[in-house]
Structure 1
Protein backbone atom coordinates (compact mmCIF):
# COMPACT_ATOMS: atom_id res chain seq x y z
CA UNK A 1 0.00 0.00 0.00
CA UNK A 2 2.81 2.40 0.88
CA UNK A 3 4.58 1.70 -2.41
CA UNK A 4 1.38 2.33 -4.37
CA UNK A 5 0.75 5.55 -2.43
CA UNK A 6 4.27 6.83 -3.08
CA UNK A 7 4.12 5.93 -6.77
CA UNK A 8 0.81 7.76 -7.21
CA UNK A 9 2.03 10.88 -5.43
CA UNK A 10 5.31 10.98 -7.33
CA UNK A 11 3.41 10.73 -10.62
CA UNK A 12 1.00 13.50 -9.54
CA UNK A 13 3.89 15.73 -8.48
CA UNK A 14 5.79 15.38 -11.73
CA UNK A 15 2.59 15.86 -13.74
CA UNK A 16 2.01 19.18 -11.97
CA UNK A 17 5.67 20.09 -12.32
CA UNK A 18 5.51 19.49 -16.08
CA UNK A 19 2.97 22.28 -16.49
CA UNK A 20 4.28 24.72 -13.91
CA UNK A 21 7.96 24.14 -14.65
CA UNK A 22 7.32 24.93 -18.32
CA UNK A 23 5.42 28.08 -17.37
CA UNK A 24 8.24 29.26 -15.08
CA UNK A 25 10.70 28.86 -17.95
CA UNK A 26 8.80 31.43 -20.05
CA UNK A 27 6.98 33.76 -17.65
CA UNK A 28 8.49 37.28 -17.26
CA UNK A 29 10.63 37.78 -14.19
CA UNK A 30 11.18 34.12 -13.33
CA UNK A 31 12.10 32.94 -16.82
CA UNK A 32 14.73 35.55 -17.67
CA UNK A 33 18.18 34.46 -18.78
CA UNK A 34 19.88 36.31 -15.94
CA UNK A 35 17.93 34.29 -13.33
CA UNK A 36 19.91 31.29 -12.14
CA UNK A 37 18.51 28.02 -13.43
CA UNK A 38 18.86 26.53 -9.94
CA UNK A 39 16.79 29.34 -8.43
CA UNK A 40 14.15 28.97 -11.12
CA UNK A 41 14.08 25.21 -10.65
CA UNK A 42 13.77 25.56 -6.88
CA UNK A 43 10.85 27.98 -7.16
CA UNK A 44 9.09 25.78 -9.72
CA UNK A 45 9.52 22.66 -7.56
CA UNK A 46 8.27 24.46 -4.44
CA UNK A 47 5.19 25.88 -6.17
CA UNK A 48 4.47 22.51 -7.80
CA UNK A 49 4.61 20.76 -4.42
CA UNK A 50 2.14 23.26 -2.92
CA UNK A 51 -0.26 23.20 -5.87
CA UNK A 52 -0.19 19.40 -6.02
CA UNK A 53 -1.79 19.20 -2.58
CA UNK A 54 -4.92 20.97 -3.86
CA UNK A 55 -5.27 19.49 -7.35
CA UNK A 56 -4.36 15.85 -6.65
CA UNK A 57 -8.01 14.80 -6.85
CA UNK A 58 -8.33 16.39 -10.33
CA UNK A 59 -5.41 14.51 -11.85
CA UNK A 60 -5.99 11.40 -13.99
CA UNK A 61 -4.51 8.03 -13.03
CA UNK A 62 -1.11 7.03 -14.32
CA UNK A 63 -1.37 5.93 -17.98
CA UNK A 64 -0.72 2.29 -18.72
CA UNK A 65 1.09 2.88 -22.03
CA UNK A 66 4.09 4.99 -23.00
CA UNK A 67 2.16 6.66 -25.82
CA UNK A 68 -0.61 7.83 -23.49
CA UNK A 69 1.99 9.10 -21.02
CA UNK A 70 3.82 11.16 -23.65
CA UNK A 71 0.51 12.53 -24.93
CA UNK A 72 -0.48 13.59 -21.41
CA UNK A 73 2.89 15.24 -20.73
CA UNK A 74 2.89 16.95 -24.13
CA UNK A 75 -0.48 18.54 -23.38
CA UNK A 76 0.79 19.84 -20.05
CA UNK A 77 3.90 21.31 -21.69
CA UNK A 78 1.77 23.11 -24.27
CA UNK A 79 -0.47 24.58 -21.56
CA UNK A 80 2.59 25.75 -19.60
CA UNK A 81 4.03 27.44 -22.68
CA UNK A 82 0.73 29.18 -23.35
CA UNK A 83 0.50 30.40 -19.75
CA UNK A 84 3.96 31.94 -19.78
CA UNK A 85 3.77 33.11 -23.39
CA UNK A 86 0.62 35.18 -22.80
CA UNK A 87 2.39 37.16 -20.07
CA UNK A 88 5.51 37.45 -22.23
CA UNK A 89 3.35 39.07 -24.92
CA UNK A 90 2.18 41.65 -22.38
CA UNK A 91 5.78 42.61 -21.54
CA UNK A 92 6.57 42.98 -25.25
CA UNK A 93 4.37 46.11 -25.28
CA UNK A 94 7.14 47.94 -23.40
CA UNK A 95 9.65 46.82 -26.02
CA UNK A 96 7.42 48.13 -28.81
CA UNK A 97 6.86 51.46 -27.05
CA UNK A 98 10.56 51.87 -26.23
CA UNK A 99 11.59 51.19 -29.83
CA UNK A 100 9.21 53.85 -31.16
CA UNK A 101 10.41 56.30 -28.50
CA UNK A 102 14.02 55.67 -29.54
CA UNK A 103 13.23 56.34 -33.19
CA UNK A 104 11.43 59.59 -32.39
CA UNK A 105 14.06 60.88 -29.96
CA UNK A 106 17.18 60.12 -32.00
CA UNK A 107 18.32 57.25 -29.76
CA UNK A 108 17.72 54.44 -32.24
CA UNK A 109 21.48 53.98 -32.72
CA UNK A 110 22.06 53.63 -28.96
CA UNK A 111 21.84 49.86 -28.46
CA UNK A 112 21.73 48.11 -25.11
CA UNK A 113 21.22 44.50 -24.01
CA UNK A 114 17.53 43.87 -23.37
CA UNK A 115 17.22 41.11 -20.72
CA UNK A 116 13.58 40.41 -21.60
CA UNK A 117 14.24 39.89 -25.31
CA UNK A 118 17.73 38.40 -24.75
CA UNK A 119 19.14 40.49 -27.57
CA UNK A 120 20.36 43.98 -28.35
CA UNK A 121 17.64 46.63 -28.34
CA UNK A 122 17.10 50.35 -28.11
CA UNK A 123 18.23 51.81 -24.80
CA UNK A 124 14.73 53.18 -24.08
CA UNK A 125 13.05 49.80 -24.68
CA UNK A 126 15.57 48.12 -22.34
CA UNK A 127 14.93 50.80 -19.72
CA UNK A 128 11.14 50.42 -19.91
CA UNK A 129 11.32 46.62 -19.90
CA UNK A 130 13.57 46.47 -16.84
CA UNK A 131 11.40 49.01 -15.02
CA UNK A 132 8.23 47.12 -15.94
CA UNK A 133 9.53 43.79 -14.63
CA UNK A 134 10.77 45.49 -11.48
CA UNK A 135 7.35 47.01 -10.85
CA UNK A 136 5.69 43.62 -11.35
CA UNK A 137 7.52 42.37 -8.27
CA UNK A 138 7.26 45.64 -6.35
CA UNK A 139 3.46 45.69 -6.73
CA UNK A 140 3.19 41.92 -5.98
CA UNK A 141 1.62 41.10 -9.34
CA UNK A 142 3.75 37.96 -9.38
CA UNK A 143 1.51 36.73 -6.55
CA UNK A 144 -1.38 36.77 -9.03
CA UNK A 145 0.62 34.53 -11.33
CA UNK A 146 1.31 32.11 -8.47
CA UNK A 147 -2.40 32.10 -7.71
CA UNK A 148 -3.12 31.58 -11.39
CA UNK A 149 -1.03 28.41 -11.44
CA UNK A 150 -3.69 26.80 -9.26
CA UNK A 151 -6.60 28.43 -11.13
CA UNK A 152 -5.24 27.07 -14.43
CA UNK A 153 -6.35 23.57 -13.42
CA UNK A 154 -9.93 24.81 -13.46
CA UNK A 155 -9.56 26.49 -16.86
CA UNK A 156 -7.44 23.74 -18.41
CA UNK A 157 -8.25 20.35 -16.83
CA UNK A 158 -5.51 17.75 -17.03
CA UNK A 159 -6.01 15.11 -19.68
CA UNK A 160 -8.44 17.18 -21.75
CA UNK A 161 -7.65 19.05 -24.94
CA UNK A 162 -7.58 22.79 -24.21
CA UNK A 163 -10.03 24.97 -26.18
CA UNK A 164 -7.55 25.96 -28.88
CA UNK A 165 -10.11 28.16 -30.63
CA UNK A 166 -10.68 30.29 -27.54
CA UNK A 167 -6.97 30.33 -26.74
CA UNK A 168 -6.09 31.48 -30.27
CA UNK A 169 -8.67 34.27 -30.00
CA UNK A 170 -7.30 35.39 -26.63
CA UNK A 171 -3.68 35.27 -27.83
CA UNK A 172 -4.49 37.31 -30.94
CA UNK A 173 -6.33 39.77 -28.71
CA UNK A 174 -3.28 40.01 -26.42
CA UNK A 175 -0.97 40.60 -29.41
CA UNK A 176 -3.19 43.41 -30.65
CA UNK A 177 -3.48 44.82 -27.13
CA UNK A 178 0.30 44.74 -26.66
CA UNK A 179 0.91 46.69 -29.86
CA UNK A 180 -1.87 49.13 -28.95
CA UNK A 181 -0.36 49.70 -25.50
CA UNK A 182 3.07 50.18 -27.05
CA UNK A 183 1.70 52.90 -29.33
CA UNK A 184 -0.17 54.50 -26.43
CA UNK A 185 3.04 54.63 -24.39
CA UNK A 186 4.89 56.24 -27.29
CA UNK A 187 2.02 58.57 -28.33
CA UNK A 188 3.52 61.70 -26.66
CA UNK A 189 6.77 61.08 -28.53
CA UNK A 190 4.96 60.68 -31.84
CA UNK A 191 3.37 64.10 -31.34
CA UNK A 192 6.68 65.56 -30.14
CA UNK A 193 8.64 64.02 -33.02
CA UNK A 194 6.20 65.22 -35.65
CA UNK A 195 6.22 68.76 -34.25
CA UNK A 196 10.00 68.83 -33.87
CA UNK A 197 10.74 67.56 -37.37
CA UNK A 198 8.27 70.00 -38.91
CA UNK A 199 10.04 72.84 -37.09
CA UNK A 200 13.47 71.59 -38.16
CA UNK A 201 12.28 71.29 -41.74
CA UNK A 202 11.02 74.87 -41.75
CA UNK A 203 14.31 76.14 -40.33
CA UNK A 204 16.21 74.21 -42.98
CA UNK A 205 14.11 75.77 -45.73
CA UNK A 206 14.43 79.28 -44.33
CA UNK A 207 18.19 79.06 -43.57
CA UNK A 208 19.79 76.36 -45.74
CA UNK A 209 23.28 77.39 -44.67
CA UNK A 210 22.65 76.33 -41.04
CA UNK A 211 23.82 72.84 -40.11
CA UNK A 212 20.43 71.77 -38.82
CA UNK A 213 21.53 68.27 -37.77
CA UNK A 214 24.24 69.48 -35.38
CA UNK A 215 22.06 72.24 -33.98
CA UNK A 216 18.88 70.18 -33.58
CA UNK A 217 20.31 66.92 -32.21
CA UNK A 218 21.18 68.21 -28.69
CA UNK A 219 17.79 69.94 -28.46
CA UNK A 220 16.03 66.80 -29.66
CA UNK A 221 17.72 64.62 -27.04
CA UNK A 222 17.13 67.08 -24.21
CA UNK A 223 13.45 67.49 -25.09
CA UNK A 224 13.04 63.70 -25.46
CA UNK A 225 14.44 63.05 -21.98
CA UNK A 226 12.17 65.76 -20.58
CA UNK A 227 9.09 64.17 -22.16
CA UNK A 228 10.21 60.73 -20.97
CA UNK A 229 10.59 62.00 -17.42
CA UNK A 230 7.05 63.41 -17.51
CA UNK A 231 5.37 60.36 -19.03
CA UNK A 232 7.27 57.31 -17.74
CA UNK A 233 5.20 57.07 -14.55
CA UNK A 234 1.89 56.99 -16.40
CA UNK A 235 3.30 54.56 -18.98
CA UNK A 236 4.30 52.03 -16.33
CA UNK A 237 0.89 52.36 -14.64
CA UNK A 238 -0.80 51.59 -17.98
CA UNK A 239 1.44 48.57 -18.39
CA UNK A 240 0.72 47.23 -14.90
CA UNK A 241 -3.03 47.59 -15.45
CA UNK A 242 -2.76 45.71 -18.76
CA UNK A 243 -0.55 42.99 -17.21
CA UNK A 244 -3.09 42.48 -14.44
CA UNK A 245 -5.87 42.27 -17.03
CA UNK A 246 -3.99 39.54 -18.91
CA UNK A 247 -3.51 37.59 -15.68
CA UNK A 248 -7.19 37.81 -14.77
CA UNK A 249 -8.55 37.05 -18.26
CA UNK A 250 -6.20 34.23 -19.17
CA UNK A 251 -5.34 32.52 -15.90
CA UNK A 252 -8.38 33.45 -13.84
CA UNK A 253 -6.11 34.75 -11.08
Structure 2
Protein backbone atom coordinates (compact mmCIF):
# COMPACT_ATOMS: atom_id res chain seq x y z
CA UNK A 1 0.00 0.00 0.00
CA UNK A 2 1.43 3.35 -1.03
CA UNK A 3 0.43 6.73 0.34
CA UNK A 4 0.86 9.71 -1.94
CA UNK A 5 2.44 12.55 0.05
CA UNK A 6 3.32 14.74 -2.92
CA UNK A 7 0.59 17.22 -2.00
CA UNK A 8 1.92 17.83 1.52
CA UNK A 9 4.49 20.54 0.59
CA UNK A 10 1.85 22.51 -1.35
CA UNK A 11 -0.64 22.08 1.49
CA UNK A 12 1.93 23.25 4.03
CA UNK A 13 2.71 26.29 1.87
CA UNK A 14 -1.00 27.13 1.59
CA UNK A 15 -1.34 26.78 5.36
CA UNK A 16 1.54 29.22 5.94
CA UNK A 17 0.03 31.74 3.51
CA UNK A 18 -3.36 31.62 5.22
CA UNK A 19 -1.66 31.75 8.62
CA UNK A 20 0.30 34.86 7.54
CA UNK A 21 -2.94 36.72 6.76
CA UNK A 22 -4.75 35.55 9.89
CA UNK A 23 -1.83 36.06 12.29
CA UNK A 24 -1.12 39.56 10.96
CA UNK A 25 -4.76 40.48 11.55
CA UNK A 26 -4.86 38.95 15.05
CA UNK A 27 -1.70 40.80 16.10
CA UNK A 28 -3.32 44.16 15.26
CA UNK A 29 -6.90 43.60 16.43
CA UNK A 30 -8.16 45.86 19.26
CA UNK A 31 -8.74 43.20 21.93
CA UNK A 32 -6.59 40.26 20.90
CA UNK A 33 -3.66 42.34 19.70
CA UNK A 34 -3.09 44.26 22.91
CA UNK A 35 0.31 43.98 24.54
CA UNK A 36 -0.86 42.26 27.74
CA UNK A 37 -2.26 39.25 25.85
CA UNK A 38 0.36 36.44 25.83
CA UNK A 39 1.87 35.70 22.45
CA UNK A 40 1.04 32.00 22.79
CA UNK A 41 -2.66 32.81 23.07
CA UNK A 42 -2.47 35.02 19.98
CA UNK A 43 -0.71 32.26 18.03
CA UNK A 44 -3.22 29.66 19.24
CA UNK A 45 -6.15 31.83 18.08
CA UNK A 46 -4.44 32.46 14.74
CA UNK A 47 -3.79 28.73 14.20
CA UNK A 48 -7.40 27.88 15.09
CA UNK A 49 -8.77 30.46 12.65
CA UNK A 50 -6.34 29.23 10.00
CA UNK A 51 -7.60 25.66 10.36
CA UNK A 52 -11.13 26.99 9.83
CA UNK A 53 -10.31 29.27 6.88
CA UNK A 54 -7.90 26.96 5.02
CA UNK A 55 -10.46 24.34 3.82
CA UNK A 56 -12.73 27.12 2.54
CA UNK A 57 -10.10 28.89 0.43
CA UNK A 58 -7.46 26.25 -0.25
CA UNK A 59 -8.26 26.24 -3.97
CA UNK A 60 -7.70 30.02 -4.20
CA UNK A 61 -3.95 29.52 -3.82
CA UNK A 62 -1.76 28.54 -6.73
CA UNK A 63 1.38 27.06 -5.19
CA UNK A 64 4.59 26.83 -7.23
CA UNK A 65 7.11 24.79 -5.25
CA UNK A 66 9.85 25.15 -7.85
CA UNK A 67 10.97 28.53 -6.48
CA UNK A 68 10.83 30.26 -3.10
CA UNK A 69 10.59 33.79 -4.48
CA UNK A 70 6.87 33.63 -5.42
CA UNK A 71 6.06 32.14 -2.01
CA UNK A 72 7.91 34.91 -0.18
CA UNK A 73 6.19 37.59 -2.26
CA UNK A 74 2.79 35.98 -1.68
CA UNK A 75 3.45 35.80 2.05
CA UNK A 76 4.32 39.51 2.15
CA UNK A 77 1.06 40.26 0.33
CA UNK A 78 -0.88 38.14 2.83
CA UNK A 79 0.75 39.93 5.78
CA UNK A 80 -0.13 43.33 4.31
CA UNK A 81 -3.75 42.27 3.82
CA UNK A 82 -3.97 40.97 7.39
CA UNK A 83 -2.53 44.20 8.76
CA UNK A 84 -5.06 46.22 6.74
CA UNK A 85 -7.97 44.19 8.15
CA UNK A 86 -6.76 44.40 11.74
CA UNK A 87 -5.81 48.06 11.50
CA UNK A 88 -9.27 48.94 10.17
CA UNK A 89 -10.86 47.48 13.31
CA UNK A 90 -8.21 49.16 15.47
CA UNK A 91 -8.88 52.57 13.91
CA UNK A 92 -12.62 52.08 14.41
CA UNK A 93 -11.98 51.37 18.09
CA UNK A 94 -9.82 54.52 18.39
CA UNK A 95 -13.00 56.61 18.00
CA UNK A 96 -13.63 55.94 21.69
CA UNK A 97 -10.21 57.36 22.60
CA UNK A 98 -11.00 60.48 20.56
CA UNK A 99 -14.32 60.87 22.37
CA UNK A 100 -12.68 60.23 25.74
CA UNK A 101 -9.99 62.84 25.13
CA UNK A 102 -12.55 65.50 24.18
CA UNK A 103 -14.77 64.63 27.16
CA UNK A 104 -11.83 64.76 29.56
CA UNK A 105 -10.78 68.18 28.27
CA UNK A 106 -14.29 69.56 28.71
CA UNK A 107 -14.53 68.20 32.26
CA UNK A 108 -11.10 69.46 33.27
CA UNK A 109 -9.65 65.93 33.52
CA UNK A 110 -7.33 66.11 30.54
CA UNK A 111 -4.28 65.82 32.79
CA UNK A 112 -5.49 62.59 34.45
CA UNK A 113 -3.84 59.83 32.41
CA UNK A 114 -3.21 56.13 32.82
CA UNK A 115 -1.86 53.30 30.68
CA UNK A 116 -4.38 52.17 28.08
CA UNK A 117 -4.35 48.34 28.34
CA UNK A 118 -5.59 47.93 24.76
CA UNK A 119 -2.75 49.95 23.21
CA UNK A 120 -0.02 49.88 25.84
CA UNK A 121 0.43 53.64 25.97
CA UNK A 122 -0.72 56.60 28.02
CA UNK A 123 -4.29 57.75 27.57
CA UNK A 124 -6.88 59.75 29.46
CA UNK A 125 -8.79 57.76 32.05
CA UNK A 126 -12.19 58.40 30.46
CA UNK A 127 -10.89 57.27 27.09
CA UNK A 128 -9.46 54.09 28.62
CA UNK A 129 -12.80 53.41 30.32
CA UNK A 130 -14.74 53.87 27.07
CA UNK A 131 -12.29 51.65 25.18
CA UNK A 132 -12.55 48.82 27.70
CA UNK A 133 -16.33 49.17 27.74
CA UNK A 134 -16.41 49.12 23.94
CA UNK A 135 -14.32 45.92 23.78
CA UNK A 136 -16.59 44.30 26.38
CA UNK A 137 -19.72 45.23 24.45
CA UNK A 138 -18.24 43.89 21.19
CA UNK A 139 -17.83 40.45 22.74
CA UNK A 140 -21.09 40.63 24.70
CA UNK A 141 -23.09 41.41 21.54
CA UNK A 142 -21.15 38.89 19.37
CA UNK A 143 -20.03 41.73 17.11
CA UNK A 144 -16.58 40.15 16.99
CA UNK A 145 -18.10 37.54 14.67
CA UNK A 146 -18.20 40.27 12.02
CA UNK A 147 -14.40 40.45 12.17
CA UNK A 148 -14.18 36.74 11.39
CA UNK A 149 -16.72 37.20 8.58
CA UNK A 150 -14.64 40.08 7.20
CA UNK A 151 -11.56 37.83 7.29
CA UNK A 152 -13.41 35.11 5.40
CA UNK A 153 -14.79 37.53 2.80
CA UNK A 154 -11.40 39.25 2.40
CA UNK A 155 -10.55 36.46 -0.07
CA UNK A 156 -13.17 37.97 -2.36
CA UNK A 157 -11.83 41.50 -2.04
CA UNK A 158 -8.12 40.60 -1.87
CA UNK A 159 -7.68 37.45 -3.94
CA UNK A 160 -4.50 35.46 -3.26
CA UNK A 161 -1.85 36.04 -5.89
CA UNK A 162 -3.18 39.44 -6.98
CA UNK A 163 -1.31 42.62 -6.24
CA UNK A 164 -2.56 44.58 -3.26
CA UNK A 165 -4.62 47.50 -4.64
CA UNK A 166 -2.71 50.34 -3.02
CA UNK A 167 -5.26 52.92 -4.15
CA UNK A 168 -8.16 51.05 -2.54
CA UNK A 169 -6.15 50.47 0.64
CA UNK A 170 -5.27 54.17 0.84
CA UNK A 171 -8.93 55.10 0.32
CA UNK A 172 -9.98 52.63 3.00
CA UNK A 173 -7.44 54.06 5.46
CA UNK A 174 -8.51 57.63 4.74
CA UNK A 175 -12.18 56.80 5.20
CA UNK A 176 -11.47 54.85 8.39
CA UNK A 177 -9.49 57.68 10.01
CA UNK A 178 -12.02 60.32 8.95
CA UNK A 179 -14.95 58.24 10.18
CA UNK A 180 -13.23 57.49 13.52
CA UNK A 181 -12.57 61.18 14.16
CA UNK A 182 -16.10 62.08 13.07
CA UNK A 183 -17.81 59.53 15.30
CA UNK A 184 -15.52 60.48 18.19
CA UNK A 185 -16.61 64.10 17.92
CA UNK A 186 -20.26 63.07 17.61
CA UNK A 187 -20.03 60.94 20.76
CA UNK A 188 -18.56 63.86 22.68
CA UNK A 189 -20.99 66.45 21.26
CA UNK A 190 -23.08 66.78 24.48
CA UNK A 191 -19.92 67.60 26.41
CA UNK A 192 -18.80 70.16 23.85
CA UNK A 193 -22.13 71.94 24.30
CA UNK A 194 -21.85 71.63 28.08
CA UNK A 195 -18.29 72.96 28.10
CA UNK A 196 -19.22 75.94 25.94
CA UNK A 197 -22.26 76.89 28.03
CA UNK A 198 -20.50 76.25 31.33
CA UNK A 199 -17.41 78.32 30.46
CA UNK A 200 -19.52 81.18 29.16
CA UNK A 201 -21.45 81.10 32.42
CA UNK A 202 -18.22 81.17 34.43
CA UNK A 203 -16.99 84.10 32.37
CA UNK A 204 -20.18 86.06 33.05
CA UNK A 205 -19.98 85.15 36.75
CA UNK A 206 -16.37 86.33 36.92
CA UNK A 207 -17.38 89.69 35.43
CA UNK A 208 -20.30 90.08 37.84
CA UNK A 209 -18.32 89.00 40.92
CA UNK A 210 -14.61 89.81 40.38
CA UNK A 211 -13.77 89.02 44.00
CA UNK A 212 -15.00 85.43 43.66
CA UNK A 213 -12.47 82.62 43.00
CA UNK A 214 -14.25 81.28 39.93
CA UNK A 215 -11.68 78.58 39.21
CA UNK A 216 -11.99 76.87 42.59
CA UNK A 217 -15.76 76.88 42.30
CA UNK A 218 -15.97 76.03 38.62
CA UNK A 219 -13.66 72.98 38.44
CA UNK A 220 -15.48 70.79 41.02
CA UNK A 221 -18.84 71.87 39.65
CA UNK A 222 -17.70 71.09 36.09
CA UNK A 223 -16.52 67.61 37.06
CA UNK A 224 -19.68 66.82 39.04
CA UNK A 225 -22.06 68.06 36.34
CA UNK A 226 -19.99 66.40 33.63
CA UNK A 227 -20.15 63.00 35.32
CA UNK A 228 -23.91 63.33 35.71
CA UNK A 229 -24.22 64.02 31.99
CA UNK A 230 -21.79 61.18 31.27
CA UNK A 231 -23.97 58.74 33.25
CA UNK A 232 -27.09 59.95 31.44
CA UNK A 233 -25.74 59.62 27.88
CA UNK A 234 -23.38 56.63 28.26
CA UNK A 235 -25.89 54.05 27.01
CA UNK A 236 -26.72 56.13 23.93
CA UNK A 237 -23.01 56.76 23.27
CA UNK A 238 -22.11 53.07 23.31
CA UNK A 239 -25.14 52.16 21.20
CA UNK A 240 -24.03 54.69 18.58
CA UNK A 241 -20.49 53.31 18.68
CA UNK A 242 -21.68 49.71 18.21
CA UNK A 243 -23.73 50.75 15.18
CA UNK A 244 -20.67 52.52 13.79
CA UNK A 245 -18.36 49.54 14.37
CA UNK A 246 -20.84 47.15 12.76
CA UNK A 247 -21.12 49.43 9.71
CA UNK A 248 -17.31 49.50 9.37
CA UNK A 249 -17.15 45.72 9.43
CA UNK A 250 -19.99 45.45 6.91
CA UNK A 251 -18.00 47.70 4.56
CA UNK A 252 -15.33 44.97 4.51
CA UNK A 253 -17.91 42.29 3.63
CA UNK A 254 -18.82 42.34 -0.09
CA UNK A 255 -22.45 42.02 -1.05
CA UNK A 256 -23.38 38.69 -2.57
Shift of 1:63: 4.5
Shift of 1:25: 0.3
Q: Where do 1:176-195 residues align within 5 Å?
A: 176-195=178-197
Q: TM-score, normalised by structure 1?
A: 0.96
Which residue of structure 2 lines up, in the alignment, with residue 118 of structure 1? 120
What 5-or-longer segments of structure 2 have no aligned partner?
A: none
Contact conserved, 2:22 with 2:50, CA < 8 A, in 1? yes
Is residue 144 of structure 2 the alignment partner of residue 156 of structure 1? no
For the residue of structure 2 that corresponds to 1:121, the secondary structure is strand
Shift of 1:177: 0.7
Which residue of structure 1 lines up, in the alignment, with residue 68 of structure 2? 66
Which residue of structure 1 lines up, in the alignment, with residue 212 of structure 2? 210
What 5-or-longer segments of structure 1 have no aligned partner?
A: none
Contact conserved, 2:96 with 2:184, CA < 8 A, in 1? yes
Is residue 41 of structure 2 the alignment partner of residue 47 of structure 1? no
CA RMSD of aligned residues (A): 1.3
For the residue of structure 1 that corresponds to 2:122, the secondary structure is strand
Output the CA distance in 1 between the equivalents of 2:69 and 2:9. Answer: 19
Which residue among 111, 129, 133 is the counterpart of 1:131? Answer: 133
Which residue of structure 2 lines up, in the alignment, with residue 170 of structure 1? 172
Contact conserved, 1:26 with 1:88, CA < 8 A, in 2? yes
Q: Where do 1:219-234 residues align within 5 Å?
A: 219-234=221-236
Which residue of structure 2 lines up, in the alignment, with residue 97 of structure 1? 99
Shift of 1:112: 1.4
- 166-175 or 46-55, larger mean C-alpha shift: 166-175
The 4+ residue runs of structure 1 with deviation greater than 4 A are none
Shift of 1:116: 2.5
Output the CA distance in 2 between the equivalents of 1:131 and 1:223. Answer: 22
Which residue of structure 1 lines up, in the alignment, with residue 111 of structure 2? 109
Output the CA distance in 2 between the equivalents of 1:168 and 1:40. Answer: 27
Contact conserved, 1:51 with 1:150, CA < 8 A, in 2? yes
- 3-12 or 48-57, larger mean C-alpha shift: 3-12
Shift of 1:34: 1.7
Shift of 1:5: 2.1
Which residue of structure 2 lines up, in the alignment, with residue 33 of structure 1? 35
Q: TM-score, normalised by structure 2?
A: 0.95
Contact conserved, 2:99 with 2:127, CA < 8 A, in 1? yes
Q: Deviations over 1:97-146 (max 9, x none)?
A: 10000000011111111123321111111111110111111110111111
Counting matched residue pairs gives 253
Output the CA distance in 2 between the equivalents of 1:124 and 1:167. Answer: 31
Q: Deviations over 1:125-178 (max 9, x none)?
A: 111111011111111011111122211111111010122212211221111111
